[in-house]
Structures are given as structure tokens and as C-alpha cells.
Amino acid sequence: MARKRRLFSSVLLLLITILYCADSPSDLYRKAKSFDEDSDYRRAILYYKRVFEDFPRSDYAPDALFRAATISHIFFRDIRDSIRMFKTIVVNYPEYPKAMEAQKQIAGIFMEEVLDFQNAIGEYQKLLQMNPPQDEVPGYLLNIGRCYESVGNYEQAMVEYKNIISKFPDSKESMNAKFAVNFINYIQKRTSNAIRGFEEFISEYPESELAPDALFYLAGSYEDNDNLHKALEILKGLKGKYRNPGTLRLKIDRLENRLKVRKR
């Protein structure tokens, strides 16, 4: 009896193996896509991975791996697995049309989700080496600058921002870079540079969504320069315009109290 059971188990295993291996890459991909369209993402990702694992040289492999990485990232929040698959695409399929998008996903995950800014810098630099469209380059440079800023490397952040301003002066990223340069001057207490920079920014971009912030930090720069009347004048002009009215009110009250103390 035991021998018959072992034989039955062996035959069953053989049949399962034959059935498992019988699918072609197109069959597996079609099944994966069907599960994907039905929002059965667990089965979809299983079959997408099988396409890559069983037929890595097929035309379906990079597409299947990209979709598996996307599902893993969006629906299962498996950051490590999705990064691993996106990296496999970049390394194994450099000519694949979505290889650059895979690299972009890696860099964005490190910057925005993992908050690993050092790794994000390296991944964005790899992305730039892939020769992306020129209109995308300023955005990647801006993100590199923000990552340097986030780890406290303000001088290198300034280098990146000034590179955008110099090479892409008409881009929206140039406006953001100018604001960032001025903000670094502000927090580094380079007061004269901050005042001059924020005044130029407001003159150049008066209707920008960043204009109220520029005025707020300009007021802070004047306060740091001990010009309290000018700082208070700017802050009062921001009423109804600044995104954080509570903070604005506190700042105005504090300056008014400082001026009252000076008059005594």
C-alpha cells in the first residue's frame, strides 16, 4: 500500500510538473493579463513572474516583469521586491522601451517613499546617464538638489540648483531652483544674499504660487537684518494670501511685541 501511495505521488508530481511547464510565454502572459484585468493581483503577479523566470529571453519577459514590479509597488506596497524587479529590468533589458521608466521608478521610490536620499541621488544620476528627454532633465536635477538639501549638504544642493538656472533658464524648475537657492541663503543666515535674491524672485515671478512664501522668508531675512519695521510691513501685506494664516499671525504678533519693547 505504501509503495502504491509513493508511486501515485510521483505520478501526480510528474503530471503537475508537465502541466506547469506546458505553458508558452504567450500563454502565461495572457493568463497574467486576464487575472490583472480582473483585479486578481496575487495570481497576476504570480504568472507575470513565471513569464520572466521560465522564459527570461522571450519578448514577453520585460513587459511581464515591469507589470509585476508595478503591481508589487502599488497594490502590495512591497518596496524591496518592486525595486529588485525594476533594477532587473534596467540591468537585463537596457534596450527595453520602459527601462528608463523603471529607473525613474527606482529613484522616485528611494526619494519619496523610503526617504533614502543618498541612494536616491545615485539613482537619479543613473537616470541622467540614460539620456532622458531634455525637458525631463531639469526635474531630475531639481530632485537631486532637494536630496542633497535633505541630507544637509547645502553647498552641493546649491551647485545642482545653479546648474538648472544656468542650463534651463526658461523651465519651471528654474523658478523652483531660484527659490531654493534663496531659501538656503536664508537658513544659512546669508542675510544680504537672501534679501537680494527673494526681492529679485518676487519681481520676476509676482504671480507664482511660491511668491507668498518668498515674501514670508524675505520678511524673515529683514528681521534677521534687524529691520523689524520692513519685516512687519511685508508680513501684514501677506494677510489673506499666505497658506498658513496661524503662523503668519504669530509672526506678526511677535514682531509687534519686539517693536513695543524697543519703544520703552
Per-residue pLDDT band at 11 (split at 50, 70, 90): very low
Other CB atoms within 10 Å distance of the CB of residue 23: 17
* pLDDT for position 263: 78
Q: Read off the pTM.
A: 0.86
CA distance 194 to 179: 10
Angle (CA) 37-38-40 rounded to 5° is 110
When the pLDDT of each residue in the chain is averaged and rounded to a whole number, the result is 93
pLDDT tens-digit series, residues 32-78:
999 999 999 999 999 999 999 999 999 999 999 999 999 999 999 99
Dihedral angle sign, alpha carbons of residues 54, 58, 60, 63: positive
CA distance 156 to 118: 13
pLDDT tens-digit series, residues 188-225:
999 999 999 999 999 999 999 999 999 999 999 999 99
Query: Radius of gyration (Cα) for the chain, nearest Å?
Result: 28
pLDDT tens-digit series, residues 97-137:
999 999 999 999 999 999 999 999 999 999 999 999 999 99
